[in-house]
């Protein structure tokens, strides 16, 4: 690697169902200006733009970055647009980091967003393709059977998912940007919320949000001048096919390989002990224990115990989803980058009320497609 990379600016928008107060232009600028302000830089300090977003049909604009580049100071600069399904926010940050690590640029602004309220995302996802089998269960219908498989394999108590949701929803109350904030949330409210795709309850699912996230990444020289950089220790991406005979969709190999590669690059031999907190992509509550196992924080079939024992609580031994996670805010294209941003803010000591004391090394994680695209990074308060 030619050059070290660090996060020196982080910004995000308020996340809501419909941000009708801003256009897509206003939305991405809200996040980008906050990141620039945080980095104490201006548009002209930026060498290149990397923009990430989930399907273009969600906004009804083909390659919207073409009209957004100029409002993000992009005129005359290189601009890349990444799209790797739900993991895209993470992949976008990784592409941006690669530009620094390759020695191509010194400072890169990366922005990920979604503004589904401007089109009809449910329609975009349910275009009836002729010749193909009709959809039978909508979005959650794909993941609910995987959760059922996990419950059966692990023997996890049935209220595990409720406990995850309760923890994340309490954490979200400490995050001023979070979309869903239920001031008096408790176990019973979640348990009694309607069952949507059995075994997934309403309050165990993510919302659909308008929102954006932005990061300013810098090379070593710029990071040394920044008051609180988050150094990128390692990044990794993995992909496997959506379906094939014998594929383990509950504990996918791509996720395991990605984590193993990540830890090797970061010099981590015992992730459970060496990582101080993790922000992972959990769109349905049960994915917390599933990913804890996939990421090697717990042996297979044991991830639920960490949730159960309070290990993943904000004051636990390995806090998970300190921000309230995807369960609390889900601007799809930006959701992965928000995980990466939270990891960075934790090691910068800038996570506000949901700061983990003494967090020095943090994991950001995103996944997408049929649990087949993974992107991850490890950031630390010092260079590796």
Rounded to the nearest whole angstrom, what is the least distance from the CB of residue 338 to other proteins in the complex?
19
Q: Which of 13, 91, 323, 335 binds other proteins (CB under 8 A)?
A: 91
The kind and range of the H/E element at 48 are strand 48-52
Q: Does 123 bind other proteins (CB under 8 A)?
A: yes
CB-based burial, 157-167: b 16+ in 10 Å, e otherwise: eeebbbbbbbb
Contact status: 133 vs other proteins (CB under 8 A): yes
**Least distance to other proteins from the beta carbon of 316, Å?**
30
C-beta of 9 vs 74, nearer to other proteins: 74
125 sits near other proteins (criterion: CB under 8 A):
yes
**Residue 380, strand partner residues:** 231, 361
Q: Is 194 in the site for other proteins (CB under 8 A)?
A: yes
- 5/359 with CB nearer other proteins: 5
Of 4, 107, 238, 348, which one interacts with other proteins (CB under 8 A)?
A: 238
What is the DSSP track for 336-377? HHHHHHHHHHHHHT--GGGPPTT--EEEEEEEETTTTEEEEE
Q: In this structure, how many other beta carbons lie within 10 angstroms of the beta carbon of residue 289?
A: 31
Question: Is residue 183 part of the contact set for other proteins (CB under 8 A)?
Answer: no
CA distance 278 to 291: 11
26 scored as a contact of other proteins (CB under 8 A): no
Residue span 44-73 as binding mask against other proteins, x where in contact by CB under 8 A, dash where not: ---------x-xxxxxxxxxxxxx-xx---
Cβ at position 114, least distance to other proteins in Å: 12
Q: How far is the CB of 216 from other proteins (least distance, A)?
A: 18
269: how many CB neighbours lie within 10 A of its CB? 9
User: Would you say 274 and 361 are in contact if contact means Cβ atoms under 8 Å apart?
Assistant: yes
Residue 264 engages other proteins in binding (rule: CB under 8 A): no
Size of the residue set binding other proteins (CB under 8 A): 98
Q: SS3 for 261?
A: helix
């Amino acid at each position: 690697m030619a050059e070290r990379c660090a996060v020196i600016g982080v910004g995000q928008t308020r996340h809501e169902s419909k941000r009708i107060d801003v256009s897509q232009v206003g939305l991405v600028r809200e996040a980008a200006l906050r990141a620039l302000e945080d980095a104490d830089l201006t548009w002209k300090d930026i060498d290149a733009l990397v923009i990430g977003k989930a399907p273009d049909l969600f906004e009804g604009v083909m390659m919207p970055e073409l009209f957004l580049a100029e409002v993000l100071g992009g005129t005359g600069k290189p601009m890349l647009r990444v799209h790797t399904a739900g993991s895209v926010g993470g992949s976008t940050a990784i592409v941006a980091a690669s530009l620094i690590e390759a020695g191509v640029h010194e400072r890169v602004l990366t922005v990920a967003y979604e503004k589904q309220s401007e089109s009809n995302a449910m329609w975009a996802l349910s275009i009836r393709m002729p010749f193909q089998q009709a959809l039978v269960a909508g979005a959650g219908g794909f993941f609910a059977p995987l959760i059922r498989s996990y419950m059966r394999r692990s023997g996890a108590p049935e209220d595990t998912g409720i406990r995850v949701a309760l923890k994340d929803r309490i954490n979200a109350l400490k995050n001023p940007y979070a979309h869903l904030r239920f001031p008096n949330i408790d176990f019973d409210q979640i348990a009694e919320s309607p069952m949507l795709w059995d075994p997934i309850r309403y309050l165990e699912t993510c919302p659909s949000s308008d929102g954006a996230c932005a990061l300013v990444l810098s090379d070593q020289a710029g990071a040394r001048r920044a008051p609180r950089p988050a150094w990128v220790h390692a990044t990794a991406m993995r992909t496997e096919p959506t379906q094939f005979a014998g594929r383990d969709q509950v504990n996918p190999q791509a996720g395991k390989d990605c984590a193993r590669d990540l830890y090797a690059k970061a010099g981590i031999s015992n992730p459970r002990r060496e990582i101080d907190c993790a922000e992972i992509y959990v769109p349905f509550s049960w994915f917390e224990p599933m990913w804890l196992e996939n990421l090697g924080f717990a042996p297979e079939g044991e991830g639920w115990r960490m949730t159960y024992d309070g290990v993943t609580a904000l004051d636990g031994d390995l806090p998970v989803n300190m921000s309230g996670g995807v369960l609390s805010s889900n601007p799809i294209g930006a959701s992965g980058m928000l995980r990466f941003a939270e990891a960075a803010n934790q090691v910068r000591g800038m996570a506000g009320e949901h700061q983990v004391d003494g967090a020095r090394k943090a994991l950001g994680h995103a996944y997408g497609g049929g649990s087949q695209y993974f992107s991850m990074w490890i950031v630390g308060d010092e260079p590796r």
